Structure formats: structure tokens, C-alpha cells
Amino acid sequence: MADRDPFALTCPVPIGAYPTVLLAHGGGGRLMQQLIAQVFAPAFSNPALDAQHDASLVQAGATRLAFTTDSYVVKPLFFPGGDIGSLAINGTVNDLAMAGARPLALSAGFILEEGLPIDTLTRIVASMREAAAQVGVHVVTGDTKVVDRGKGDGVFINTAGIGIVEHQLTIGPAAVRPGDAVIISGDVGRHGIAIMASREGLQFETTIESDCAPLVAPVLDLISAGIDVHCLRDLTRGGLASALNEIASVRGCSIAIDERAVAVREDVQGACELLGFDPLYVANEGRFVAFVPPDQAARAVAVLRRHAVSSDAVVIGTVSEDPSNLVTVKTRIGASRVVDMLSGEQLPRIC
Amino acid sequence: MADRDPFALTCPVPIGAYPTVLLAHGGGGRLMQQLIAQVFAPAFSNPALDAQHDASLVQAGATRLAFTTDSYVVKPLFFPGGDIGSLAINGTVNDLAMAGARPLALSAGFILEEGLPIDTLTRIVASMREAAAQVGVHVVTGDTKVVDRGKGDGVFINTAGIGIVEHQLTIGPAAVRPGDAVIISGDVGRHGIAIMASREGLQFETTIESDCAPLVAPVLDLISAGIDVHCLRDLTRGGLASALNEIASVRGCSIAIDERAVAVREDVQGACELLGFDPLYVANEGRFVAFVPPDQAARAVAVLRRHAVSSDAVVIGTVSEDPSNLVTVKTRIGASRVVDMLSGEQLPRIC
């Protein structure tokens, strides 16, 4: 996800408490929000940035554009279900999709570490080509830098994307309404666990593959079906829990979800229990939530289920005006617990 | 400069000769061109990329956009006349300017190394804000990643930029015509020498400051003055010599310049002699060449001289149909020498 401006988020620990950058500052949680709020937002504040979307909206003549960027530093470079190349394309394409935009063009900036095997780079680039072809978008401009051995980590990739916004909806946290149904596009936790298992050499009975995939088709289908989509968000760093917390904080509302409705594959659940992770916070790269009016929820779910990538779409919760701005989960045993925003990611460098 | 696709460039050394990435692969010279030709271009080939501009042209509805990206890995982060922040804004804004585009919006992706002082980041971001304000453009979307200590080098920044193309000209190597005058916007060599001196702790009698500056205003003024601009190129990695070689190779023409017309400040010349550098190959971050019809050259120079950043603009040479595709320099003593493309940059990590 592109960073969002968190003016409205609570920042209990002042950034001054951390005079240097920590790994958690890149984790999509509260520390990253603090870094943005205290360093980036005051410097760069402008209406497009302050709107807090995955992608910013920019008017270009008569055309409404979405514009987004992400750098990818995932470790390892190759993992079950994907690699840094497919991630760099899908991640940015998905940020455009979360604005309801049709991807128009991508850029790719490579920071290579001296000593990287050319074959490795060639494999990554081939994977990028394939991922881009899958959504019918081109990398139209690029850049290559090389840093000295020991000053990088193989390869880092930045992709930026331009999309065309062809609808008249306002999609974003501000458009969320009390009563909105919260729909999730499928099971959670696979990307983060796939990375973790691959990085640490963990063996499970089954190979857990990343869910890394493009989300453009189901989103554009939702919009062309006439669903009044209020908000979309992909569930990357910080997972479902962080995404819902951000939306609740920015919008000023509460969100209640039913844990039983959130699918977690048995092997992912097992790995989470073994590793001490909560699957609600584990990163995904092919999952999103959609906020829609309650009377359109069933139709929206039906539209999403037409697409393989969102064939398990289901309503998981609802929005209320409750001013506590909390995200609560009704657990499997019927109790209710608050899921707060974490300080950082449970797993660093997952994207 | 954003990488250009060098299909037409000669690549005498096969990339297979280098199984791993070398520092020179990022240097803007022949090795980088080989990497692009053999790894990136075959994978990503498409008309916009293949047009070989500093920025690619993308049609968005009725609007013609320019789109570009660059990552910045300069070392040290702060140097006389600028820092990685001002460089990251001006470099990308200048790539848009080289398409004759008016900058519309920028993205910023930060890759931070664990342990980077927050104060350092704050200074860099303030410098970015100032540079962006100078050209009236906003950073509208951003991203922050953090990598483990020893896996980065303080901070790397990627910026991508969207610009609006408001003219009807075709600006690029393909539009260069025999007889075109080659205009340079000012003296060369300051950025590279400033970086080198700063990095190596060299002391000269005077402090040599980088020429890092935005080039939008003089370029847009050239176009609005009705000059038929054929090609524009900023003189970054590889300097004037590499820029002219790229254009000559892509267009299939020869270019002759007069060394006496290319201004090199005395202190820069002295430093180059001391360090064994040829100023024609040293990187600049606020200099460009413009190719214009010969009968419009005097007027173009007059327009450029209205702007402080290009107040020393002067005609330095001319284009001929000579099929050798060579760049030749008439030296101060009247002899003629060929300036070829180097394998890499004389100075790594200058941007």
C-alpha cells in the first residue's frame, strides 16, 4: 500500500522517543503512521496527499487520474507463489484498483547491489513482464542504479502507476457510512506466512503460497455493476486489522467484524499458532475489503465471486457511528475483543 | 535521467561477459545500455518505452502526459549545492521538462536503513519540499520501507513524475535534423566534482557547488516562444559526451561541437585535471542541451538567457548526416577528437 496520511490517527508515542529509524517504522503500523505524521505529512501536505487513499487523485485536463508508488524490499527475492517482480507489479496495480482506477502505465526503478547475478535480475524482470501482461499494462519508463556491495540487498524495485478513473464515485475512508457492509475478497494470511516460511526455512505439511495477484478485474466489475462502492483497501502490511483501524480512525467510525466469517486456511492458521502470529495482522497481496451500502452487499458479493481471485468473497462486518473509533471482533466463542493497530509489522520486509 | 532504450546503440561487449552486476552497470554508459538492451528492453518493449525519451509519453483520454521515474542513491546524502532530497525532486522534474512537459504531480518512495537519524530524514524531506515548491509541484503520493542495518545506505529515494504536454511538438532524438544547432544551457562539470570532492574530503581553493536546479522554466519558455525544439536532454550520468553519443546513436547522425564553446569553470577544470576526469563526461544536474533549427538558434539562446539557470546558454555545435554516428570535438588547439561513450560513469553514485 502507498502510505496514507494519518493526521487523524492517534500517536501516543512521540517520534522524538526514537531518534533513529527502526525496522518497525516501515511496518505499516502505528510507528510508520507517526513517521508519516511527523516527518512527511507536514512537509508535503496537499489535498491529494491528505485524502489518504492508496492512490492519489490528480486532475489532468479533463481526465481524472490515480497516481501511486511503492518500493519493494521483500526478503527473500523469490518465495512460493511469487517474487519481488510480480509483487512490484501487482502491489502497485492493486493500489490503483483501490481507487477504482484502470491501470494505464507503470514505471520501474531498480536499485541493484553490485554482485547481483544477472540471471537473477533476468528472472525478476520476466516475472514483472508476465504480471504486467496479465493486467494489460506496460512499464513505459524505467531507471537503473547500482550501489556498492553491502550497501543494498540484491535488488530493490520501485514501481509507480498511473490509472484512469472512469467512474464518478468518491472512493475512500471519508465516504464510509454507518451501516455499510464490510466485504472481504477471500482468506487471509497467506502472503506473510509464505514469506516467513521461505525466509526462515520452515517446512509445513503443505507449501503455503503467497496470494499475490492483481485485483483490478473484480474491482472494475463491482463499479460497472453499479455498486456504490464507498471504500476499498488492500490488506498488505499490517493485514486486515491494520486496514480496518486506519479506515476507522480516518473516517471516525467503529467497525465490528465476525471472526468466524474471516477465512484462514488451516495450514496458515497452524503456522500462525506455531509462530505466535494473529492472522488478522498478517500481510496479504491479493486481498481487499470493500465498504458498500448494506442493501447492495449481496449483489456486490455475487459480482466478486465471478472472479477467481475473489471467489470466496463474503460479508464480514458492518460500520457503526460509535465514536470510540474501535475495530472489534466477535470471536469464535462469541466474545468480543478489540483489535488495535500494532506498532509495526509482525514480519519486517514482507513487501 | 530515466533510462533510455538503446536498441540502436552499439554493444560490443556481450552482457554474458559479466555474470553479475557491476557498479558500471549503473553509470549511464555503455554497460548500462547493454543491461537495458539485454535484460529490460526485451521484457518491457512497448512503443512508449521504445521512444527513448527521458520521459515517456502516455495518452490519457484527451490529455497527453509525460511519465518518468528515477531512483536516487547519491553518496554522500548532503553535498555543496544540494542533497539527495533536492536532487530527487529536480532530477525527476527535469526529466519531465526534457519532454517539454509541465510537471503536474510527483510521487516519493523512501527506502530507509534501520538506524538512520530521524533528523537526517527530516532535513532531506524539508529540502524536497523546498525544491518542489520552487517549481510549483506537489508530492501527492508516497511510500516508506525500512531495511535492516547494513542492507541499505542511509536513504534511497525514488521519485516518479507526471507532466502535462501542452505543445504539439515531437521532442526526442528521432526529431533531430541535419543542420540543427546544439545549444548548451551553461557550464559543465560542477555536480560531479562537487560530489567527488565532498565524498573524498578534497579541499579546493573555492567550494565547488553542484549545479542542481530545475529546468522547467527555460524549457517551457522556449516552447511558448515558438521555437521548434527538436530534442532536449539533461546532462546527468555520463555528462555532455554521453548525452550527445546517445542522441547520435539513436537518431543515426553525427554531432560536432567546439570545445572552446563549452564553458568549464576554472576550479572545475583544475579539479578535473587533478583527478584525471574529462569534464565532458562529468555529471550535471542543472544543465541540458537543446537541438533547434539553425535559423532559430540565436532566438533560442536569447530566450534561455532570460533565466538565471540558463543565462550562459550558447551554441556549441551542429548536427550532420554523416553516417559514422560519431560525436567529435574541435579542441582548443584546433584539432578534432572523437568523444565516445564510456563503459560506465567516471564517478559512481553521483545521483
B179-223 pLDDT per residue, tens: 999 999 999 999 999 999 999 888 888 899 999 999 999 999 999
- Three-state secondary structure call for residue A155: strand
| Per-chain mean pLDDT for chain B | 93
Task: Identify all chain B residues contacting A43, using CB atoms and an 8 Å cutoff.
Answer: 125-126, 128-129
Q: Buried (b) or exposed (e) across A265-294, using 16+ Cβ within 10 A? A: bebbbbbbeebebbbbbbbbbbbbbbbbee
* Cell numbers at B175, concatenated: 526529431
Residues 229-268 of A with CB under 8 A from B: none
> In terms of CATH, what superfamily is A173-338?
PurM-like C-terminal domain (3.90.650.10)
Domain B173-338 in the same topology as domain B54-165:
no
Strand runs labelled E in B80-221: 82-83, 101-113, 139-147, 155-165, 181-184
pLDDT of residue B186: 98
CB B161 within 8 A of CB B93: yes
Put simply, the answer to whether B20 touches A118 (Cβ < 8 Å) is yes
Put simply, the answer to whether B26 touches A112 (Cβ < 8 Å) is yes
Band (pLDDT 50/70/90 cuts) for residue B60 is: very high
- Three-state secondary structure call for residue B165: strand
Residue A66 phi/psi, 5-degree rounding, is -110, 145
pLDDT of residue B1: 52
Task: Identify all chain A residues contacting B27, using CB atoms and an 8 Å cutoff.
Answer: 146
Coarse DSSP helix, strand, coil percentages of chain B, rounded to the nearest 5 percent: 35, 25, 40
Put simply, the answer to whether A63 touches B67 (Cβ < 8 Å) is no
DSSP class of B74:
-
pLDDT of residue B336: 95
Put simply, the answer to whether A48 touches B129 (Cβ < 8 Å) is no
For chain B, the structural domain boundaries read 54-165, 173-338
What pLDDT digit, counting tens, does each position of B287-316 carry?
A: 999 999 999 999 999 999 999 999 999 999
Q: What is the CB neighbour count within 10 angstroms for residue A18?
A: 15
Residues 150-189 of B with CB under 8 A from A: 150-153, 156, 158, 160, 162, 164
Residues 70-129 of B with CB under 8 A from A: 70-73, 104-105, 107-119, 121-122, 125-126, 128-129
pTM (2 decimals)? 0.95
In the CATH hierarchy, which top-level class contains the domain A54-165?
alpha beta
> Mean pLDDT by 10-residue block, N- to C-terminus, for chain A (351 residues)?
45 68 91 92 89 87 96 97 98 98 98 97 98 97 96 98 96 96 98 94 89 98 98 96 95 97 96 93 97 98 98 98 95 93 83 94
B43 touches A: beta carbon within 8 Å? yes
Put simply, the answer to whether A142 touches B116 (Cβ < 8 Å) is no
- Three-state secondary structure call for residue A57: strand
What pLDDT digit, counting tens, does each position of A279-296 carry?
A: 999 999 999 999 999 999
d(CA B250, CA B244): 10
**Please, what is the angle between helix B297-304 and helix B216-224, to 10°?**
140
For residue B4, CA distances in Å to B91, B128, B326 come to 15, 25, 19
**Please, what is the angle between helix A297-304 and helix A216-224, to 10°?**
140
Task: Identify all chain A residues contacting B18, using CB atoms and an 8 Å cutoff.
Answer: 118
Task: Identify all chain A residues contacting B71, using CB atoms and an 8 Å cutoff.
Answer: 109-111, 143, 145, 158
d(CA A76, CA A54): 25
pLDDT of residue B121: 97
Least confident interval from B43-57, B261-275, B323-337: B43-57
pLDDT of residue A3: 58
pLDDT of residue B348: 85
Q: Which are the contacts of B319, defined by CB distance < 8 A and separation ≥ 6? A: B176, B177, B178, B179, B180, B182, B253, B254, B255, B291
Put simply, the answer to whether B105 touches A138 (Cβ < 8 Å) is no
B264 CA: distance to closest CA in chain A (Å): 27
Put simply, the answer to whether B164 touches A40 (Cβ < 8 Å) is no
Q: Which residues are registered as beta bridge partners of A182? A: A291, A317
pLDDT of residue B203: 84
Put simply, the answer to whether B146 touches A116 (Cβ < 8 Å) is no
A46 touches B: beta carbon within 8 Å? yes
Decide the pairing of beta strands B254-258 and B327-330. Answer: parallel
Amino acid at B346: Q
pLDDT of residue A1: 52
